[in-house]
Amino acid sequence: MTDFIKKNSIAFRISREMAIDYGMVEPTPEEAAKRDAEMAVWRRKQRDDRAAFLVAIEALRGKGGATQVIFDLHSPNLTDRYTVTCPGDDYSGYDGEPPEWPCPTIVALAEHHDIALPSHTMPGAEYED
């Protein structure tokens, strides 16, 4: 019976950065300092982007009429820690998950009212001051 069993092995390369990410190796002091500096820049950008989204949210809230009704339906939960999702969009299926905010409806409302939104999804409350 064992004559038909053949062992296979697979080897693949990973970068040193990936090995550090997964705790497979310890970073050198220089690598750690570089990674810390890059993380500080990224967190600052997340904080600034979240602030820009909060300004846009306030601008949309004040529009009234149909915009207000639609915005209320698609208004984000600002206490979401990392990923802000849209509670107003329908989603379904076994793996259904709410879309990240701003959803296409909010993007269309903002464009209609000439309100600037950052070009990606809103960072969570983790990135507020």
Look up residue 81 and give its two tokens: 């820690």
Strand partners, 123: 83
**Band (1; pLDDT cuts 50, 70, 90):** low
Query: How far is 121 from 92, CA to CA, in rounded Å?
Result: 21
Q: Where are the domains of the chain?
A: 26-127
Contact status, residue 123 vs residue 46, Cβ threshold 8 Å: yes
- Tens of pLDDT, residue by residue over 73-117, are 999 999 989 889 888 877 777 777 888 999 999 999 999 999 999
Asked if the model's pLDDT at residue 3 lies above 80, the reply is no
Whole-model pTM above 0.85? Answer: no
* Burial class of residue 91 in the structure, from the number of CB atoms within 10 Å of its CB (0-12 exposed, 13-18 middle, 19+ buried): exposed
The whole-chain average pLDDT of the chain stands at: 89
Query: Which stretch of 18-27, 68-77, 85-94 has the lowest confidence by average pLDDT?
Result: 85-94
